[in-house]
Structure 1
């Protein structure tokens, strides 16, 4: 028998807050990636993938799993499978963001949302497979199907937010929606997990690492990463990553249009201006004339 909330609502609330923070950072970075080019575009895309895939999805899952327990059996985690489960959402989110932001079409949005949804499902059930207990586990197909639907819908919504939102208010609201969807997907999948106790009387703990041993590196890593992200957001000025590439024909045409429409523009080292001929005064005009 398993218990989803052995520590009350503190663990789900903490996991939800972590997911909301990661979603906010990821959408903010995606907004900057949408307006950047070259190296700076990949810089913001990488940070967005780490924030959404690493914090909003995987870190939320891991913290929520920390509050999961099985009656009569200690829990241990396979370190390699845990690391793989963390790498999966980061990779699929990076690929999906690149596809959606490069060519923002509806077809690419749906395909990328499905890709990220599959990656989230793979992350979740790989993380569950990394859990070692005395006994066997099986999943309810109805809950698995429902969690898949929630994952694809949440991923598609997140990519739509990343493609369209720019203002911090909208990004903050979207982060709340994303965190709700990711948390709902996780606990839906865990509600369909059933544990059958072992037939024998186990001695000792299963193989693997304790959740507490893995939690400390995760917390330190999250703190350092959030600090780095905050510095990037504060110091990443618009001029640094939104430089125009004037070797491109479209930018050269835009620059030519700006110069041609500015009537007051004068080149610094251009040809001397032609002298303006003096208007000849006629006798009787009310003008001042120099005495010869």
Structure 2
């Protein structure tokens, strides 16, 4: 049987920290996407989907699986299914973000929450299917249902955060809430996992890659993603600053001073002053 309490605290802490970073970047990019138009809108949406789906959800799941152990059972991972689970999380999260940012209504918010929850649950169980071991894995229906319910609520809240939060304090608080929700979905689902040892011992480990073989590409990918996201955030701040030297129309105009009494006064019976003579240099034909 599986002993879920045998995990140390370091692996869940690292997984939670990665989820916080991904949620923070994703919410920041979503805030930029709400103010953007045209090609810039899709640029911020892609970065938000990579941050939320790839880092906050999938990377958190993969790192948390590093601490999953079954006594006496060797675990290997199918690299193709592991990649499919990551792509699923990014694509579905991108579609959900597009729905909730472009259509800011309650029905679209609920629909995007359902779609994002389906993506999170599909990602998790696709990642679980990528595990190869000499033993039978079973999922308790109660914990599967609980994980789906938490994913639905968490995804809907995440879509609301993406469409509503403004300002750094609100985004940081939203990132913490999202990381707690994503972590709760993963460990709730893992509590329902039971592995039964095979009746006969099999020689040799199962097919697939070890966790350490896949860990290096994940770390390199996370580092590159953080670097790219940080670069886009810095460039985005420079683009959003108002440059008054480019256009005179955008520059603040001085307030017109109120007319004085002397300027507004016109004598009632006096002679009106003659209009000023033209100052142009155009030759005029003299009158006879």
TM-score calculated relative to the size of structure 1: 0.82
Per the TM alignment, residue 5 of structure 1 is displaced from its structure 2 partner at its CA by: 5.0
Structure 2: distance between partners of 1:106 and 1:15 = 32
Per the TM alignment, residue 201 of structure 1 is displaced from its structure 2 partner at its CA by: 1.1
Per the TM alignment, residue 239 of structure 1 is displaced from its structure 2 partner at its CA by: 3.8
**Deviations, residues 44-74 of structure 1 (Å, cap 9, x unaligned):** 0000000000000000000000100111111
Match of 1:10 in 2: 10
Structure 1: distance between partners of 2:6 and 2:217 = 23
Equivalent residue runs for 1:195-210 within 5 Å: 195-210=195-210
Match of 1:165 in 2: 165
Equivalent residue runs for 1:143-154 within 5 Å: 143-154=143-154
TM-score calculated relative to the size of structure 2: 0.83
Structure 2: distance between partners of 1:22 and 1:263 = 46
Match of 1:251 in 2: none
Decide whether aligned partners of structure 1 residues 5 and 241 sit closer, same or farther in structure 2, where only a CA change above 3 A counts. farther
Structure 1: distance between partners of 2:241 and 2:197 = 56
Structure 2: distance between partners of 1:13 and 1:102 = 35
Q: Classify the secondary structure of the residue corresponding to 2:73.
A: coil
Is 2:73 the partner of 1:70? no
Q: Classify the secondary structure of the residue corresponding to 2:194.
A: strand
Aligned residues: 256
Decide whether aligned partners of structure 1 residues 211 and 5 sit closer, same or farther in structure 2, where only a CA change above 3 A counts. farther
* Residues 5 and 68, structure 1, Cα contact 8 Å, conserved in 2: no
Is 2:216 the partner of 1:212? no
Q: Classify the secondary structure of the residue corresponding to 2:92.
A: helix
Match of 1:234 in 2: 234
Structure 1 regions of 5+ residues with no counterpart?
243-254, 265-275, 284-292
Larger Rg: 2
Match of 1:44 in 2: 44
* Residues 47 and 229, structure 1, Cα contact 8 Å, conserved in 2: yes
Per the TM alignment, residue 282 of structure 1 is displaced from its structure 2 partner at its CA by: 7.5
Answer with 229-238 or 75-84: which moved more: 229-238
Structure 2: distance between partners of 1:5 and 1:57 = 22
Structure 1: distance between partners of 2:37 and 2:189 = 39
Is 2:109 the partner of 1:118? no
* Residues 5 and 67, structure 1, Cα contact 8 Å, conserved in 2: no
Match of 1:128 in 2: 128
Q: CA RMSD in A?
A: 2.5
